[in-house]
A and B are shown apart, each in its own frame.
Chain A
Amino acid sequence: MLRRTTSSRKPILIVGGAAALLLFACGPYFMNGYNIFQLTMLMSYAIALLGIVVLTGYCGQFSLGQGAFFGFGAYVAAVLIGKASLHYLLVLPVAAAASFVVGALVSLPAIRLKGIYLALTTFGLAVAFPQLLKHPGLEAVTGGVLGLTVSLPQPPEFLGVTQDHWLFLVSLVTTVIAFAVTAGLLRGRVGRAFIAISDNPTASVAMGVSLQHYKMLAFAFSSMLTGVAGAISALAVRYVAPDSFSMFLSVTLLVGAVVGGVKSVWGVIFGALFMLYVPNIANQISEAAPWAVYGAALILVVTFIPDGIASLFDRFIGRRRNAAAEPTGVYAPSGVK
């Protein structure tokens, strides 16, 4: 999973990446409000998918409940702006911190579960989350079934941009920070610990990697990212309601991560694009179609391109991978003698 780019191509990638970023940043000047909104949602999805890459791709913990964390972040943002009148620039950091804490709390039981059991529990979380939001006891805070509306922040006067554009810029800064922090984390000691845990938990314990400690970090960090993404989406959509954060959102996020490449930080861009545009296309076929398309995409990608679209690009630009080519399947031999 550790990759090294051949050194001759590295400067090209850096320059190209910076140029793309600059282009992206200037985009809104040429677009209408709706398109800017879409770009903001793109970034929100990308950050959420980053969370899955960290948790599932690197640390090997399978979560089907990311939609719940996304919704949590969204509701935190909505409540803070609507009820607590918090200054909007503080909303994102507070949502991040709150999500981090919640992720750490959820990880307490979660780290004791493995594989299928963890998947099951997080699946349950995804299904139960909307129910929790609709509970009459919490209605005063959450707005119950009807949800809450969110007022869009006003941009500072001197910048002379629209509300949508301002939110875009705030999100862009957040996204860059998110990518930078995540990439930094994963390249360092923490990232290696995650990979060790995912590849061989028993051996990593023997080598002194504190399993519980790092798993908790993975959960907390990933839900922080997902929560921030949810907060951005709440500001962009200007509305939160329980049924927007159902199990289907969790599955959609999963599909996005897998399509992009669940082990790839940069793959989330492809995943986010998939999440943004495929429903629209699928809707034109039939109303129930988006879910079937997602399901089919998930199955096809996992079967034929297990490392996602990012892996196709990796091959294209010549990155080498340290993946061990173990034969697998029903008749796999158990080792060489």
Chain B
Amino acid sequence: MGEFLNQVLAGVANGGIYASLALALVMIYQATQHINFAQGEMATLSTFGAWFLFDAGMPYWVVFALTVFGSFIMGALVERLVVKPVGTASPFAFIAVTVGLLMIANSASHWVGGGDIREFPSPFPGWLGSRYLSAHETGTILVTMIVLVALLTFLKRTPFGLAMRAAAQNPVSSGFVGIRVGLMLTIGWGISAAIGAIAGMMVAPIAFLEPNMMGSILLYAFAGALLGGINNPTGAVIGSFAVGIFENLLGVYVTGSELKLTSALCLIVILLILRPSGLFGKAAVSRV
């Protein structure tokens, strides 16, 4: 029983990491009605940026703030310079562009970081740790919760968040009420890049910083976000924890650790077929 609990909690720890990236995915979806395949790679790049700031001797929370802010700018610039010219002509074009960004970001990480695996500091004090979860794992879950609450408050309870959601869902009507749709998209990208940076800084102490750090985590984060409903930040977090637990238990008791990724894939597929809007999402009515 103790062993089982250990595995469940290990899954929860993983889930915390997936949840932090899943929030970035949900944010970009809320802002643009699209999925950004490059989210993970952009987060890795941000984390490399943070590492260099650490190397220069700056204290943790200063680096954290600078990285989050810098990533916001990076996300906004990417939207203005790369995404906007493509327009919203076709979902194919958008997917292709984010895949292209994925490759460029990954290349950039390789170029900046070389092939080395780097250690990344964790800001969480030792007393946060317990028998089941390390200090950092606990800290990650706490940070994820804080980001979740902040995101929910922003999206649901502020006029700006409302405008952002409206701009994504109905750009034409948003124009009629005076919303600057283009600006909303840019800021949306900025915020989700910032959340991604936070996710990266939570992942790196555990996974070690290297260019392919976020590769499979992206897949798990997608699974979690889809499970909970891509439109639903709370659902995405719950979904991510579920994915973490499920994937870990499956790996330990059923299939062995090599097939973890495949089981995540199977989960995604089954989910999408049975309930495309996720466990907690709202079904979108398809109008002819």
Contacts and interface: CB of A to CB of B under 8 A. Distances in A.
Q: Tell me, yes or no, whether A and B come into direct contact in the complex with CB atoms closer than 8 A.
A: yes
Interface of A: 56, 60, 62, 64, 109, 112-113, 115-117, 119-121, 123-125, 127-128, 131-132, 134-136, 202, 247-248, 251, 254-255, 258, 262, 286-289, 291-292, 294-299, 302-303, 306, 328-332, 334
A331 B91 CA distance: 17
Given A131-B262, A303-B85, A303-B86, A121 B272 contact: yes
A121 B265 contact: yes
Contacts of B276: 113, 117
Q: Give 4 closest A-B pairs by Cβ, nearest first.
A: A295-B103, A292-B107, A288-B110, A298-B100
A330 B100 contact: no
Interface in B72-130: 82, 85-89, 91-93, 95-97, 99-104, 106-108, 110-111
A132 B88 CA distance: 36
Given A127-B219, A128-B262, A331 B85 contact: no
B219 A329 contact: no
B264 interface: yes
Contacts of B101: 295, 299
A262 B92 CA distance: 11
B35 interface: yes
A331 B172 contact: yes
Interface in B143-182: 171-172, 175, 181-182
A298 B96 contact: yes
Given A112-B273, A113-B272, A299-B101, A62 B92 contact: yes
Interface string B183-206: 000000000000000000000000
A125 B261 CA distance: 9
Interface size class of B (residues with CB under 8 A): 35 or more
Contacts of A303: 85-86, 93, 97
Contact of B107 (A135, A289, A328): A289
Contact of B106 (A124, A128, A135, A291): A291
B6 interface: no
A71 to B, nearest CB: 14
B216 A127 contact: yes
A243 to B, nearest CB: 12
Given A298-B97, A303-B86, A330-B181, A123 B37 contact: yes
Contacts of A294: 100, 103
Interface of B: 34-35, 37, 82, 85-89, 91-93, 95-97, 99-104, 106-108, 110-111, 171-172, 175, 181-182, 215-216, 219, 222, 226, 256, 258-259, 261-262, 264-265, 268-269, 272-273, 276, 288
B104 A302 contact: no
Contacts of A330: 87-88, 171-172, 175, 181-182
B235 to A, nearest CB: 16
28 contacts: A62-B95, A109-B273, A112-B273, A113-B273, A116-B95, A119-B95, A120-B35, A120-B222, A121-B265, A124-B264, A125-B265, A132-B262, A135-B256, A135-B258, A251-B103, A254-B96, A255-B100, A262-B92, A288-B110, A291-B107, A292-B103, A292-B111, A299-B96, A302-B93, A302-B97, A328-B87, A330-B175, A331-B171
B111 A128 contact: no
Nearest to B174: A330
A117 B172 CA distance: 25
B133 to A, nearest CB: 27
B107 to A, nearest CB: 3
B34 A116 contact: yes
B93 A306 contact: yes
Given A120-B226, A291-B103, A331-B171, 16 more contacts: A113-B272, A115-B91, A116-B34, A121-B268, A251-B102, A255-B100, A287-B110, A291-B107, A292-B108, A292-B111, A294-B103, A295-B100, A298-B103, A299-B82, A302-B97, A330-B181
A62 B34 CA distance: 14
A295 B107 contact: yes
B83 to A, nearest CB: 9
Contacts of A121: 265, 268-269, 272
Contacts of A124: 219, 222, 261, 264-265, 268-269
Contacts of B86: 299, 302-303
Nearest to B286: A202
B89 A328 contact: yes
- Residue among B34, B99, B106, B216 having the largest count of chain A Cβ atoms under 10 Å: B99
Nearest to A206: B288
A245 B89 CA distance: 31
A298 B171 contact: no
A56 B222 contact: no
A36 to B, nearest CB: 30
B92 A56 contact: yes
- Residue among A64, A115, A123, A125 having the largest count of chain B Cβ atoms under 10 Å: A123
B259 A302 contact: no
Nearest to B182: A330
Contacts of B96: 254, 258, 298-299, 302
Contacts of B268: 120-121, 124
A251 B175 CA distance: 36
Nearest to B175: A331
B261 A131 contact: yes
Contacts of B34: 116
